[in-house]
């Protein structure tokens, strides 16, 4: 194509697509309390609106997980961005909760189609130090998308007209621009030959060790998204008793800001050590969440958001770098889609469970349930990372006997 973008521009467009996955996911976060008040929705319904998104992401990854390895990154990302545009448009004009559900279905389809290919594209466009820099930029892109979703959403909801609509009009415009830029990415010339058929992402036996460690680590990190993205604004409003939507969005955006700052400085860290540190910090964040719910403390809530962002960044960086280092380019899109599949599946199920707990009991019990689940996942992740580090340190002959 005569008008293809430069190598540097390609990298930044791919980073923008990564950012869109978190912006799209978190765009409704600050509006959930408004929907609940306007349409008399229970926490079960509002968390179901959140949860339908990761569930559709999972279904998309199951069916289309390795599509980009066959038809190319560019085409798959264009399909995904188009679906995201439809979903955001439905939120922009939503007049009832059913339009939100349909909109979230399209958002999930869009993110499911773009999550793996955009991360794989970053690795391919970045140059020589691919795995580490791409993992770092994945985190930074997610941070920008998440923080922007909360800050823009909180600002427009609190101070602008049409509080449940204008936020999505802004995002819709940005997605249209991003889709136009994506069109000028190069066509893939080294896609896998043969006809593509829907199937689960497959992982070769030699990659299963890094894949399992990566999947559990990233899944645990994504559990922070339930705390912040699904129930965060309701925790702030009811448990911490802060009624200003913009103030709450600033507090929650510290998750994205600390995520981004940590991501910028993490690219030179050894992946397994970074993931271990992130897991320990995530445990600390759960202690802060329990304290915020117990003492109705905005300060502890702010500290929780910042610590969660730092833990998330280190865990996602470490988890993705572990698997991308070991994965050949030809199957990278499918393998990364498999990693994201487990992460989104678990967060969708957990969001529904916590919403049901909040409806049957209260938000405080939902918060403490999140603390217990996240702490257990962190302990499992620590054990896996220690075992993986010990296995890697063995001589090859011992490694084979251990396998």
User: For the segment 318-348, what is each residue's pLDDT rounded down to a tens digit?
Assistant: 998 888 877 777 777 777 778 888 888 888 8
Classified as helix, coil or strand, 298 is helix
Domain that holds residue 273: 7-184+205-402
User: What CATH number is given to the structural domain containing 136?
Assistant: 1.20.1250.20
User: Contact 45/73 with Cβ under 8 angstroms?
Assistant: no
Q: For residues 64 and 44, give the distance between their C-alpha atoms in angstroms, rounded to a whole number.
A: 29
Stronger pLDDT, 375 or 44, i.e. the higher one: 375
Q: What pTM did the predictor assign?
A: 0.77
In a domain, residue 59? The reply is: yes
Question: What letter does residue 92 receive in the DSSP assignment?
Answer: H
Q: Are 84 and 110 in contact (CB under 8 A)?
A: yes
The reply to whether 249 falls in a domain is: yes
* Residue 217: closest CA among 110, 127, 311: 311
Structure tokens at 121: 């594209």
Catalogue the long-range contacts made by 3-11 (C-beta closer than 8 Å, 24 or more residues apart): 3/184, 4/184, 4/185, 4/186, 5/181, 5/184, 5/185, 5/186, 7/125, 7/127, 9/181, 10/121, 10/125, 10/185, 10/186, 11/122, 11/125, 11/126, 11/137
Looking at residue 132, its pLDDT comes to 66
Residue 161 has pLDDT above 60, yes or no: yes
| 190 in any annotated domain | no
* pLDDT band at 182; cut points 50, 70, 90: very high
Cβ distance 138 to 261 under 8 Å?
A: no
Asked whether residue 163 is assigned to any structural domain, the reply reads: yes
Instruction: Look at 311 and 208; give whichever has higher pLDDT.
Output: 311
Q: How many domains does the chain have?
A: 1
> What is the overall mean pLDDT for the chain?
84
Q: Which of 26, 73, 34 is nearest to 54 (CA)?
A: 26
Element (H, E) at 40: none
Structure tokens at 241: 């008793």
Q: Given this model, what pLDDT does residue 311 score?
A: 94
Tell whether 162 is covered by a domain.
Answer: yes
Residue 353 to residues 13, 231, 304, 367, Cα–Cα distance (Å): 36, 12, 21, 11
């Amino acid at each position: 194509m005569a008008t293809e973008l430069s190598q540097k521009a390609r990298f930044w467009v791919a980073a923008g697509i990564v950012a869109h996955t978190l912006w799209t996911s978190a765009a409704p976060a600050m509006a959930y309390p408004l929907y609940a008040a306007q349409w008399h929705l229970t926490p079960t319904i509002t968390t179901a609106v959140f949860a339908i998104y990761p569930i559709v992401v999972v279904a998309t990854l199951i069916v289309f997980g390795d599509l980009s390895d066959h038809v190319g990154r560019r085409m798959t990302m264009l399909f995904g961005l188009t679906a995201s545009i439809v979903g955001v448009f439905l939120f922009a004009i939503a007049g009832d909760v059913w339009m939100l559900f349909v909109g979230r279905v399209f958002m999930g389809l869009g993110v499911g189609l773009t999550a793996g290919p955009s991360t794989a594209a970053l690795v391919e466009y970045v140059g020589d130090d691919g795995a580490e820099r791409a993992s770092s930029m994945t985190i930074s892109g997610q941070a920008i998308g998440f923080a922007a979703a909360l800050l823009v959403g909180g600002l427009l909801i609190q101070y602008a007209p049409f509080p449940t609509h204008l936020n999505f009009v802004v995002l819709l415009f940005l997605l249209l621009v991003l889709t136009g830029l994506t069109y000028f990415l190069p066509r893939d010339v080294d896609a896998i030959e043969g006809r593509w058929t829907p199937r689960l992402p497959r992982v070769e036996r030699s990659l299963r060790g890094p894949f399992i460690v990566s999947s559990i680590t990233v899944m645990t990190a994504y559990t922070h998204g339930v705390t912040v993205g699904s129930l965060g604004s309701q925790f702030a409003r009811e448990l911490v008793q802060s009624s200003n939507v913009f103030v709450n969005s600033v507090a929650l955006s510290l998750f994205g800001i600390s995520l981004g700052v940590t991501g910028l400085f993490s690219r030179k860290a050894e992946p397994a050590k970074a993931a271990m540190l992130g897991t320990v910090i995530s445990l600390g964040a759960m202690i802060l969440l329990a304290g915020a719910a117990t003492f109705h403390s905005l300060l502890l809530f702010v500290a929780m958001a910042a610590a969660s962002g730092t833990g998330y960044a280190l865990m996602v960086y470490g988890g993705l770098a572990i698997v991308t280092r070991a994965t050949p380019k030809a199957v990278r899109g499918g393998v990364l889609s498999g990693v994201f599949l487990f992460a989104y599946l678990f967060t969708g199920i957990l969001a529904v469970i916590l919403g049901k707990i909040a409806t049957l009991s209260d938000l405080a019990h939902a918060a403490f349930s999140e603390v217990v689940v996240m702490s257990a996942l962190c302990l499992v992740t620590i054990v896996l990372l220690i075992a993986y580090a010990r296995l890697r340190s063995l001589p090859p002959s011992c490694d084979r006997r251990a396998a």
